[in-house]
Amino acid sequence: MVKGYSFSDGIITINRDFTELDLFLKKFLDVLKEHTDYLVVSGFISISSGRTRATEDIDVLFPKLSVGKFKLLFDDLLDGGFWCYQGDISSTVYPYVDNLNSIRFAIKDNIFPNIELVPIDSSRKAKTFEFNNSVLMKVKDFVFRIPLLEFEILYKELALKSKKDLEDAKFLRAFFSDILSSQRFSECKQVILDDINDWRKNDG
Domain coordinates in residue numbering, the chain: 7-148
pLDDT of 140 strictly over 60: yes
Do residues 16 and 36 touch, judged by C-beta distance below 8 A? no
Instruction: Note the pTM of the prediction, 2 decimals.
Output: 0.95
pLDDT of 200 strictly over 70: yes
pLDDT of 168 strictly over 90: yes
Do residues 119 and 63 touch, judged by C-beta distance below 8 A? yes
Residue 53's pLDDT band (boundaries 50, 70, 90)?
A: confident
What's the one-letter identity of residue 90? S
Report the CATH number of the 7-148 domain.
3.30.460
Selection from 41, 16, 18, 28 nearest residue 135 by Cα: 41
pLDDT value of residue 204: 57
Q: What is the DSSP letter of 166?
A: H
pLDDT value of residue 55: 84
Residue 1's pLDDT band (boundaries 50, 70, 90)?
A: very low
Selection from 110, 128, 129, 100 nearest residue 187 by Cα: 129
Average pLDDT over residues 65-75: 99
pLDDT value of residue 19: 94
| Mean pLDDT of the residues in the chain | 96
